[in-house]
Amino acid sequence: MSLLEISDLSLEIHGEPILSAVSMSVEAGKILGVIGESGSGKSMTAFSVMRLLPRGARTGGAITLNGVDIVAAPEATMCAMRGRDIAMVFQEPMTALNPVQTIGAQVAETVVVHGRANRAEARAIARETLNRVGLPEADFPMSRYPHELSGGQRQRVVIAMAIALRPRLLIADEPTTALDVTTQAQILALLKRLVVEDNMGMMMITHDLAVVANLADDIVIMKSGEVVEVGPAKSLFRTMSHPYTKALFAASSHVPARAAPGAEAAPPLLTVKSVSRDYILPRTTIFGATKMFRAVNNVSFTINRGESLGLVGESGCGKSTLTRAILGLEDVQAGEILVDGDPVFAGHSVNIAVRRKMQVVFQDPYGSFNPRHKVARLVGEPFHLLESPPTGQKRHDAIADALESVGLATSDEQKYIHEFSGGQRQRIAIARALVIKPALIILDEAVSALDVSIRAQILDLLAALSDRFGLTYLFISHDLSVVRSITDRVLVMKAGEIVEQGETSHVFDHPDHEYTRTLINAAPRLPTARRA
């Protein structure tokens, strides 16, 4: 008999069906990958197992853990089981820890809550668990606070909290989504090791096929609250019986069709010449000298008209600082940024004529719009940059054009932003960037927050728009597969410096720099999707 057995699980929240006939099982010492896009019910399945469902939820079917029926168990039994028998690791390590408690205290807390040990023993267990997750005592004493750790280290603490009592089942809900690729690889390896060491069952919930492809023993694919395909990881990708699995797989490795870049004889559109940007660090002592942090150090590159340039790097490498400098939001300390030969900053004020040639699309489709404005007003905002903004019918036509070119209806301009899904919002963000017909669009992680199938559509749209309007893209991302699919050239950035640049295919196939190699090796790959 399996460790966790979910059979015919159905779930309704306030009468709205969320899950229907969901069945899956997790064996001890094995990893089950649960894959699905937003709204597929994968997280709700996990919450059903923990019985941490929102109010108004009604479940049907059976969930048994080690023979104990979870659906019927009284709340007191569930409280005892949560943390002891079933533990959970969440996506966001930045908010999962209490910022005012030391990491040792937080790990020990779970042990004490379940009455397994007194304070001193709990601390000993906490220390040992922290050692096991790769936070050795010499570098990470228990007295550390969460803010002193990096994202990956915090996620290790979260994992330590989850496994301190050696639970039988570990549920990991997108545990590496918020992390950089190299960190992600380390955390995945850690989880795999813990599963084997403790003979623990693990349910790994993710949207990313590539993450589970090499990790999970079995895979369940979910869509709109139902399981569409189940099978061993080794054979599932070969057989792929359900069309949705095939679609998901295709979307994950989607390469949009793009026209070949034009001749490079023309002068470059954007020139970045030995740019440096310093930040003043907060003083640690009242009379101490202020210290500077160099976020971008002597960076130079060019983008040709019609080209798509990728900028790859992990968090904190200076990508965002560079973006802000190019957009003219922050001045630089050294070097210059030229668009069509004109500087972005003339003296210390922004050159409006240059700004008109640039627009930006941000990552978060939920935070990029003022919730109180209608779409027409949101999309028309960049008109402010023009000397004589169009009015009346002209303005209306321009906005309608922009909306149509991103595949939305003209009638959408009278709606508010909350009426749109994440993918549609990102289309509106692109429409906003297009409306004044800029030459350069900076895409700052523009597809990172989207589901794979939506991401594929947006990438197609970007490729088509670039061909149609002769747009130039600066594509900033931490996702190597996306960068590979849509850029001509790529820059690899680390600690404020560009360590490697070249044609995308060349850099990916023959990386010269050590760091580029590390990045490429750390990125999870689909088993049969390696492109030639």
Partner 1 sequence: MVDQPMQQEHAPGGWLRAALSSRNLLLGLALSLVFVGAALLSFLWTPFDVTKLDIPNKLMTPSATHWFGTDHFGRDIFSMIMVGARTSIAVALVAVSIGMALGVPLGLAAAARSGGWLDEIIMRANDLVFAFPALLIAIMITAIFGPSALNAIIAIGIFNVPVFARITRGSALALWGRDYVLSARVSGKGAVRISAEHILPNIANLLIVQGTIQFSLGILAEAGLSYVGLGAQPPIPSWGRMLADSQTMISFAPHLAMFPGFSILFTVLGLNLMGDGLRDIFDPRIRRGRG
CA distance 304 to 489: 10
Contact 347, 361 (CB under 8 A): no
Q: Considering the complex, state which of residue 42 and residue 84 has its C-beta at the smaller distance from partner 1.
A: 42
Those residues with Cβ within 8 angstroms of residue 462's Cβ, 6 or more apart along the chain or in another chain:
256, 430, 443, 446, 473, 486
Helices (H), 199-330: 209-213, 233-239, 243-252, 319-327
Strand 270-280 relative to strand 292-303: parallel, antiparallel, unpaired? antiparallel
The distance of closest approach from Cβ of residue 367 to partner 1 in the complex, given in angstroms and rounded to an integer, is: 5
CB of 91 to partner 1, least distance (A): 8
Contact 363, 449 (CB under 8 A): yes
| Pick from 196, 221, 218, 195: nearest CA to 206 | 221
Shortest distance (Å) from residue 384 CB to partner 1: 5
- Return the residue matching tokens 């942090």: 293
Q: What CA–CA distance (Å, rounded) separates 345 from 350?
A: 5
Distance CA 254, CA 481 (A): 9
Q: How far is the CB of 399 from partner 1 (least distance, A)?
A: 14
Closest CA to 259 of 396, 38, 464: 464
Phi-psi region of 40 (alpha: psi -120 to 50; beta: other; left: phi over 0): alpha
CA 103 – CA 139 distance, rounded (Å): 13
Which residues have CB under 8 Å from 274's CB, separation 6+?
298, 299, 300, 334, 335
Q: Whole-angstrom Cα distance, residue 450 to residue 453?
A: 8
By DSSP bridging, strand 334-339 and strand 342-343 are: antiparallel
Please say which residue, 276 or 320, places its beta carbon nearer to partner 1: 320
Residue nearer to partner 1 on the CB measure, 368 or 457: 368
We find the least distance from the C-beta atom of residue 319 to partner 1, in angstroms, to be 15
Residues that bind partner 1 (CB under 8 A): 37-39, 42-43, 174, 177, 207, 327, 329, 350, 352, 355, 358-360, 362-364, 366-373, 381-385, 416, 418, 421-422, 429, 432, 448-451
Q: CB of residue 480 vs partner 1: minimum separation in angstroms?
A: 16
**C-alpha to C-alpha distance for 268 and 353, rounded to whole angstroms:** 17
Complex with partner 1: residue 183 or 359, whichever CB lies closer: 359
Q: Which is nearer to partner 1, 164 or 311 (CB)?
A: 311
- Tell me, what DSSP letter sits at residue 88? E
Of 320 and 410, CB closest to partner 1: 320
Closest separation between CB of residue 408 and partner 1, Å?
17
Nearer to partner 1, 210 or 327 (CB): 327
Q: Which residue has the tokens 């749209």?
A: 461
Alpha-carbon torsion (215, 221, 227, 229), positive or negative = negative
Q: Which is nearer to partner 1, 51 or 355 (CB)?
A: 355
Residue number with CB closer to partner 1 (135 or 210): 210
Measured from the CB of residue 105, what is the shortest distance to partner 1 in angstroms?
A: 28
Residue pair 205/226 in contact by the 8 Å Cβ criterion: no
Name the packing angle between helices 181-198 and 151-163 (round to 10°).
20
Using the minimum distance from each CB to partner 1, give the nearer residue, 348 or 384: 384
C-alpha 434/C-alpha 59 separation (Å) is: 47
20: its two tokens: 């229907």
Minimum CB distance to partner 1, residue 366 (Å): 7
Return d(Cα 116, Cα 9) in angstroms, integer. 32
Which is closer to partner 1, CB of 143 or CB of 366? Answer: 366
193 vs 187: CA distance, rounded Å: 10
Q: CB-wise, 104 or 151, nearer to partner 1?
A: 151
In whole angstroms, the minimum distance from the beta carbon of 48 to partner 1 comes to: 15
Residue 471: CB minimum distance to partner 1, A: 16
| Closest distance of CB 19 from partner 1, Å | 14
> Hey, what are 371's tokens?
């919730």
CB nearer to partner 1: pick between 81 and 210:
210
**Least Å from the CB of residue 493 to partner 1:** 20
H-helix or E-strand spanning residue 151: helix 151-163
SS3 content of the chain, % helix, strand, coil (to 5): 35, 25, 40
